[in-house]
Amino acid sequence: MSSILVVDDDENLRDGVRRILHQAGYEVREASDGLQGMRSVEQTPVDVILLDIFMPGKEGLETIRELRCAHSAIRIIAMSGGGAKGSFDMLKLAQMLGARRTLAKPFSREQLLDAIQGELGQA
């Protein structure tokens, strides 16, 4: 069973994503910010990290940089409802920093599962 770490400060989003992924047969862990996410990965590796960009505390872009340094091959899917901030597209920036895929919030069940399956080579 593949394991997914969902890192987002929105508890409702984490709950919804967890339910969808559990129904699809994945093991799901959760973290509410980048610091908790980093600690979780250090304790027990995961197959894919689904990571929000905008969070209090350690935000997503900083977390992507740190994950890439510590675990260069880790699969990261960045997600954001803020997408563009000023003239910067934050999801494109996340890809430049090492996210392999992105999801713009709100996303559908199918978009979520397609992204996860694509990272796991199941698509």
Q: What is the CATH number of the domain that holds 106?
A: 3.40.50.2300
The secondary structure element, H or E, covering residue 118 is helix 109-119
Query: By the 8 A CB rule, do 11 and 54 touch?
Result: no
Prediction pTM value: 0.93
Span 36-53, pLDDT tens digits = 999 999 999 999 999 999
Using a 10 angstrom Cβ sphere, with 0-12 exposed, 13-18 middle and 19 or more buried, the burial of residue 42 is exposed
Give the angle 18-84-28 at the CA atoms, nearest 5°. 10
pLDDT confidence of residue 25: 97
Give the domain range for residue 83: 3-119
pLDDT at 122: 79
Number of domains in the chain: 1
